[in-house]
Structure 1
Amino acid sequence: MVRLIDDSALTASSVVANSTMNRGRGLRGVNSYTRELGFDPAAWLREHGGAAPGWLDLCSGEGRALVEAAAALPAGAELTGVDLVGPLVPPPVVAAVPPPVPPAGARLRLVTAALAGWAPERSYQLITCVHGLHYLGDQLGAIARAASWLSPDGRFAAHFDPESVRRPDGSGAGRAVLAALRAAGFEYRPRRHLLLLDGGRPVALPFEYAGADPSAGPNWTGQPAVGSYYRRAVVPRGRAES
């Protein structure tokens, strides 16, 4: 029998509260957002974000991709990163190439907070979560909330592992979850394990979060990840389930 824990306990687990997840990933290059997502976030924002584009990066690590993007985006851009651990004090090593400094007018904010208890004050044209859902308990809740923070012409892109979502009896719920996400307007690209949504909207998925298992073991990345457990939501009598 799997022992499930709630999200407050999960944040203290060694799998989640670590200093390595997504720490040093930059905007472009070998270890980059562009490589992992299949598109350049800064280029996408220049094309779709208008004069004052907004990018929210969930589980942003050191925020290197945001810093680099801020130097490539127009003044007035607002970039926000949210991470449980947050930026760490850099090691005493002189970098060969220092990170670029955001231009005057570009607003860059790195927030140290648990995602489950945080919400933005505005909508964003781009919301990303690069290999971050693997470390959340209520992944579906985070996905639904992010969809509501997205602007009507915005894009949400996150890595998602259907094998990580299970029913309370331990059986896999990935197929049912993907069907519900697609019905809500999401696209799933299995080769990249990438979940996409174009256009912000309210999302109600027919699942109730039951708890998390931090001892689920490695996922397809080879890194330890969290198992997320859900039961089917109870539909009130007299209301048809969509």
Structure 2
Amino acid sequence: MPTPPPLLTAPELERSAVVANNTMNRERGLAGVNSYARELGLSPLAHLSSRPAAPSWLDLCSGEGRALREAAAVLPADAVLTGVDLVGPLVPIPAPPAVEEIIASVSAWTPTRTYDLVTCVHGLHYVGDQLGLLARAASWLAPDGLLLAHFDPESVRLADGSAAGRAVVAALRAAGFRYSARHHRIGLEGGRDVRLPFRYLGADPGAGPNYTGQPAVGSYYSPGPETNP
């Protein structure tokens, strides 16, 4: 049985070198080789353009917000495009009126509205309470909104260090999420209250590389009171 490492709280984790990853979504645009469309298997622009009015997109762990800026240049003026990132844009370029760039922890921040599209491109790899964020994000969706994120079940462990991925994926699917093991993508259609039967314990920033080849965070849980959004 593996020995669990010392676990960090959210503030401690966010000060670690692994989470302060300045390359996350810094150059990724809307379309092309290094793009949101390729990573998500869906064009955010096409999805938002299909909305009848005032399309809205929340991008968690948005980095420089390049994709949001590109979308703002094409979508209607009343579009609402919100990016949340722990570090925020490193290059101080004024954002278009439709784009709101928020520097905050996605583990603590909460929006005041719902969104047609919520994305998190490879951002969950650096979040301690991944399940808690997924549950909260489900409540941020419009009734017919779409959530898309990358998720690695191998990063989720029980208190004793044993793997919890299979049980976690089963619980997520029971709550309405769909998961593609091939693409490491998780999705949800329609905003809702999600409760998952795991209690968050803390995170390990020394978990090592995940399927992306980059160092990632290990998230530890115990079966217990359901997570609340």
The interval holding the TM-score normalised by the smaller chain is over 0.9
Unaligned segments of structure 2, at least 5 residues: none
Tell me the secondary structure at the aligned position of residue 38 of structure 2.
Answer: helix
TM-score, length-scaled by structure 1: 0.89
Q: Which residue of 1 aligns with 2:152?
A: 161
Of Structure 1 and Structure 2, the greater strand share is in 2
Instruction: Tell me if 1:3 matches 2:16.
Output: no
Q: 2:49 corresponds to which residue?
A: 46
Matched, 1:146 2:137: yes
- Identity across matched positions, percent: 66
1:5 counterpart SS class: coil
Distance 2:56 2:191 in 1: 13
Mapping of residues 215-230 of structure 1, within 5 Å: 215-230=206-221
Map Cα deviations across residues 2-22 of structure 1 (whole Å, 9 max, x no partner).
Answer: 111111100000000131112
Task: Output the CA distance in 2 between the equivalents of 1:78 and 1:72.
Answer: 12
Report the alpha carbon displacement of residue 148 of structure 1 after superposing the two structures with TM: 0.4
Match of 1:209 among 200, 209, 215: 200
Tell me the residue number matched to 1:79. 81
Query: Deviations for 1:4-61, whole angstroms, at most 9, x for unmatched residues?
Result: 11111000000001311121111111100000001110111111x2210100000000
Q: CA RMSD in A?
A: 1.5
User: How far did residue 74 of structure 1 move?
Assistant: 1.1
Tell which structure's C-alpha radius of gyration is larger. Answer: 1
Letter paired with 1:168: A
> Residue 23 of structure 1 is aligned with which of 15, 21, 26?
26
Task: Give 3-state SS (helix, strand or coil) of 1:163's partner.
Answer: helix
Q: Secondary structure at the match of 2:147?
A: strand
Q: When the two structures are superposed, what TM-score results if normalisation uses the length of structure 2?
A: 0.94
Q: Partner amino acid for 1:125? A: D
Aligned residue type for 2:161? G
Supply the distance in 2 between the matched residues of 1:50 and 1:191 (Cα, whole angstroms): 32
* Distance in 2 separating the partners of 1:89 and 1:148: 32
**Once the 2 structures are TM-superposed, how far is the Cα of residue 221 of structure 1 from its aligned partner?**
0.3
Aligned mate of 2:224, from 212, 233, 238? 233
Distance 2:164 2:74 in 1: 41
Corresponding position of 2:113: 122
Structure 1 111/168 Cα, relative in aligned 2: closer, same or farther at 3 Å? Answer: same
Alpha-carbon offset, residue 234 of structure 1: 4.1
Secondary structure of the residue aligned to 1:152 is strand
Question: How many residues of Structure 1 are paired with residues of Structure 2 in the alignment?
Answer: 223
Extract structure 1 runs of 4+ deviating beyond 2 A: none
Residue in structure 2 matched with residue 58 of structure 1 by the alignment: 60
How far apart in 1 are the matches of 2:182 and 2:163? 20
Could you tell me how far apart the structure 1 residues matched to 2:180 and 2:105 are? 27
Gaps of at least 5 residues in structure 1 are 91-98, 236-242
